[in-house]
Amino acid sequence: MRLDYLTIFPGFFAPLELSLPGKAADKGLLAFGVHDLRTWTHDRHRTVDDTPYGGGAGMVMRPEPWGEAFDELVRAGSTGAERTTIVFTTPSGEPFDQRLAEELATREHLLFACGRYEGIDQRVIDHARGVAEVREVSLGDYVLNGGEVAALAITEAVVRLLPGFMGNAASLVEESHAAGGLLEYPVYTKPPQWRGHEVPAVLRSGDHGRIAAWRHDQAVRRTAERRPDLLTPSVLDDGTPIVRATAGDAGELLTLQRACWVQEALANDMLDIPALHESLDDVRAWLGEWDTWVVRRAGRLVGAVRGRLEGGDAWDIGRVMVAPDLQGSGLGRALLEHIQAVAPAAATSYVLFTGAASARNQQMYKRAGFRLRRDLPAPPGAVVLTKRR
Ligand code: JD8
The per-residue pLDDT for 308 is 92
Q: How far apart are CA 358 and CA 320, in angstroms?
A: 13
pLDDT for the residue 195: 97
Residue 165 Cα to ligand 1 midpoint, Å, equals: 30
The reply to whether 243 and 377 lie within a common domain is: yes
Alpha carbon of 138 to ligand 1 centroid (Å) = 8
With a cut of 70, say whether residue 23 has pLDDT above it: no
User: CB burial class (10 A; 0-12, 13-18, 19+) of residue 214?
Assistant: buried
Q: Are residues 214 and 274 in the same domain?
A: no
Query: Residue 184 maps to which CATH number?
Result: 1.10.1270.20
Cα 94 to the center of its chain, rounded Å: 16
Residue 50: pLDDT band with limits 50, 70, 90: very high
DSSP readout, 18-63?
HHS-HHHHHTTS-EEEEEEGGGG--STT---EEPPTT--SS-EE-H
Could you tell which of 144, 148, 152 is best to mutate to test the pocket of ligand 1, judged by most ligand atoms within 8 Å of the CB?
Answer: 144
Supply the residue whose CA is at minimum distance from atom 23 of ligand 1. Answer: 118
Helix axes 331-341, 359-367, angle to 10 degrees: 50
pLDDT digits (tens, 9 = 90+) for 293-334: 999 988 899 999 999 988 878 999 999 999 999 998 899 999
Do 133 and 193 belong together in one domain? no
Distance 108 CA to ligand 1 centre (A): 26
7 contacts 33 by C-beta, under 8 angstroms = no
DSSP classification of residue 237:
T
Domain range for residue 204? 176-228
Exposure string over 10-36, b if 16+ CB within 10 A, otherwise e:
bebbeebeeebeeebeeeebbebebbb
Cα of 37 to ligand 1 centre, how many Å?
A: 17
143 is in an annotated binding site: yes
In sign, the C-alpha dihedral spanning 345, 349, 353, 357 is positive
pLDDT at 135: 97
Residues 345, 288, 194, 172: what is their CA dihedral angle, to the nearest 10 degrees? Answer: -20
For the cut 60, the answer to whether the pLDDT of residue 115 exceeds it is yes
Confidence (pLDDT) at 170: 57
**pLDDT the model gives residue 273:** 93
**Protein residues whose CB sits closer than 6 Å to any atom of ligand 1:** 89-91, 93, 115-116, 118-119, 138-140, 142-147, 150
DSSP per residue over 71-122, as a string? Answer: HHHS-TT--GGGSEEEEEEEEEEEEP-HHHHHHHTT-SEEEEEE--TT-B-H
pLDDT band at 16 (very low <50, low <70, confident <90, very high): confident
8 Å CB contact between 134 and 128: yes
- Residue 144 assigned as binding residue: yes
The answer to whether 365 and 317 have CB atoms below 8 angstroms apart is no
Q: If pLDDT is split at 50, 70 and 90, which confidence band does 389 have? A: confident
Does residue 59 contact residue 50 with C-beta atoms inside 8 Å? Answer: yes
Which residue among 228, 243, 261 closes a domain? 228
User: Is 249 assigned to a binding site?
Assistant: no
| 63/207 same-domain check | no
Does 139 count as an annotated binding residue? yes
- Write down the pLDDT at residue 279: 93
Rounded Cα gap, residues 147 and 163, in angstroms? 27
pLDDT at 383 over 60: yes
Q: What band does 347 get if pLDDT is binned at 50, 70 and 90?
A: confident
Contact 286, 306 (CB under 8 A): yes
Which tens digits make up the pLDDT trace of 179-214?
557 789 999 999 999 999 999 999 999 988 788 778
Q: What is the mean pLDDT of the chain?
A: 89
Identify the residue with better confidence: 166 or 366.
366
Same domain, 221 and 245: no
In terms of domains, do 248 and 353 share one? Answer: yes
Do the annotations mark residue 350 as ligand-binding? Answer: no
Write down the pLDDT at residue 311: 80
Tell me how far apart the alpha carbons of residues 128 and 145 are, in angstroms, rounded to a whole number: 23
**Nearest residue to 162 (alpha-carbon basis) of 70, 32, 34, 12:** 32
| 221 and 295 co-located in one domain | no
Q: Are 196 and 156 in contact (CB under 8 A)?
A: no
CA-based angle 372:374:376, to the nearest 5?
Answer: 105
CATH assignment of the domain containing 248: 3.40.630.30
Q: Are residues 261 and 381 in the same domain?
A: yes
Name the residue with the closest Cα to ligand 1, atom 4: 118
Residue with CA at minimum distance from ligand 1 atom 24: 91
Going by alpha carbons, the residue nearest to atom 21 of ligand 1 is 118
Question: For ligand 1, atom 3, which residue shows the shortest CA distance?
Answer: 145
- Ligand 1 centroid to Cα of residue 148, in Å, is 9
Structural domains of the chain, count = 3
Instruction: Please write the tens of the pLDDT for every residue from 214-267.
Output: 887 888 888 888 887 776 657 787 888 898 888 889 999 999 999 999 999 999
The pLDDT score that the predictor gives to residue 247 is 80
Report the nearest-CA residue for atom 1 of ligand 1.
147
Quote the pLDDT of residue 79: 67
Pocket test for ligand 1, best of 139, 145, 148 (most atoms within 8 A of CB): 145
Query: Nearest C-alpha to atom 19 of ligand 1 is from which residue?
Result: 146
Angle at CA of residue 45, ends 47 and 126, nearest 5°: 15
Q: Is 365 annotated as a binding residue?
A: no
CA distances, 348 to each of 10, 154, 177 (Å): 36, 22, 18
- Ligand 1 nearest-atom number relative to CA 89: 25
Question: For a pLDDT cut of 90, what percent of the chain falls above it?
Answer: 63
Contact 5, 35 (CB under 8 A): yes
CA 144 to ligand 1 center in whole angstroms:
5
- 246 shares its domain with 324: yes
The pLDDT of residue 54 is 96
Which of 139, 169, 199 is the C-terminal boundary of a domain? 169
Residues 163 and 191 in one domain: no
Which residues lie below 8 Å from residue 91, measured CB to CB, with a gap of 6+?
138, 141, 143, 144
Give 234's strand partners: 242
Distance CA(284)–CA(219), nearest Å, equals: 15
The tens digit of pLDDT for each residue in 161-185 reads 887 776 555 566 556 555 557 789 9
Q: Which of 150, 169, 188 is the last residue of a domain?
A: 169
- Indicate if 149 and 263 belong to the same structural domain: no
Do both 200 and 269 map to the same domain?
A: no
CA of 222 to the centre of ligand 1 (A): 31
Task: Confirm or deny that 53 is annotated as ligand binding.
Answer: no
- The H or E element containing residue 254 is helix 250-268
- Asked whether residue 366 carries a pLDDT value surpassing 70, the answer given is yes
